[in-house]
Amino acid sequence: MWDYKIGAYRVLEKYLKDRKGRILSLDEIERYRKIVEAISRTIEVQKRIDDVFRRGGKKGGNKEGRRTCYRWEKCLRTNSETL
């Protein structure tokens, strides 16, 4: 999680570096905790989305029990119960 980046920046590292040399307030600690939680959920959802695309968006429907999605939005709607 420490290595999670948005653009070129490690989110958690940047948050702390911007506050280097001082004691964090309780609000800042709580905000950091929420950022950690958000990153954790984001990583989890990204893995699930990657799984959908790895399967080719296939989920029950035709005689083999699979349906192919040709648009990623449709795949996400079709497979939203797995997200």
* 35's tokens: 């950022």
Domains of the chain, residue spans:
5-82
Residue type at 37 in one-letter notation: E
E-state strands within the chain = 5-6, 9-10
Condensed to tens digits (0 to 9), the pLDDT of residues 6-34 reads 999 999 999 999 999 999 999 999 999 99
Entry pTM: 0.63
Round to whole Å and give the CA distance between 55 and 22: 48
- Average pLDDT taken over every residue of the chain: 80
Higher pLDDT, 12 or 79: 12
Residue 4: which of 55, 53, 44, 58 has the closest Cα?
44
